[in-house]
Structure 1
């Protein structure tokens, strides 16, 4: 067959399509779910491009939040915050930090304080965080290259990208009466998630002003509405 397109015509109405895929949590190795998402997302992107569409690839990595506060707290405690480390080390540190976080309330409080410092732009904490991110993204890119995927470093748009925009969103939720104070945190109660036994809150801001993982998707929804 001499037809390079194998009979597949380009679309008469090309569109610009955003494909969000892979999106691993950093400071740990990718698991099979991330690999699955990476391959499926890249396949969809290629099909759309082949049919004449413009594809914007987005790798929305988990590069912000409590796990980084846990890591910083653990490294400072173990006096390893000035040491060089690799991804396998971070994986080991994270597991140890998670045990401490779950079992030691004082350590958990310290980890949360580091999250607040991270979100507030503390230079020392940011420097450690950048090491975690650089090591993790380098590993992820090596995996993408091995698989022949088209994801590139410039496609990364992590949760940290929205940090400066999150507090206004939380304040707006309070001003509109959608969020209330509950046990020191700003939370949103949704009737859709109410059960006969409970009405669980959806966090917008945790204690001590740390933003939860729910705020970035709320910000994105507002920004694209």
Structure 2
């Protein structure tokens, strides 16, 4: 007789969620984006050179892919062909966010005008209006990925280039998941706790000399 899986209690679920969030905050998150480039196999000359210089490390690089990109060749199912196909995947790693990066993200977030009541009343019209924030959402993703002191500059070239890449390669579904990850990594609850702690320290009345004496 098979044992039924025991359901987790609310406390256990919260504990698991907390551990997942802590892991995300400490290690970051990785994701990949498929490229719109048809993979090219190594040339005959490259294969010949590899056989001749067996003791040397020879790495094939598709010239279609810009230098500095972390790209891997992956097989994914092709619905139209009904078989697996090879695609290039560009890999990203959102590392734990620095305070400067979070502040820049805050500046981008507050520029987005969003009214839940209007969305509920006119969901289609309001959703279409919100599409104007596509470039801004792509920039938010780019800032989170780059995550270094240069992102505070609104004219940062690396941010502009990565923003354009995301606009050309990200789907709405993938952007939504990415936004959820970035929001968790900003750790607003943790920052609020820090503010609360500092406020408490600033408003706590220091003990008098008589109170310190037991």
TM-score, normalization by structure 2: 0.26
Larger Rg: 2
Higher RCO, 1 or 2 (CA under 8 Å, sep at least 6)? 2
Question: What TM-score do you get using the length of structure 1 for normalisation?
Answer: 0.25
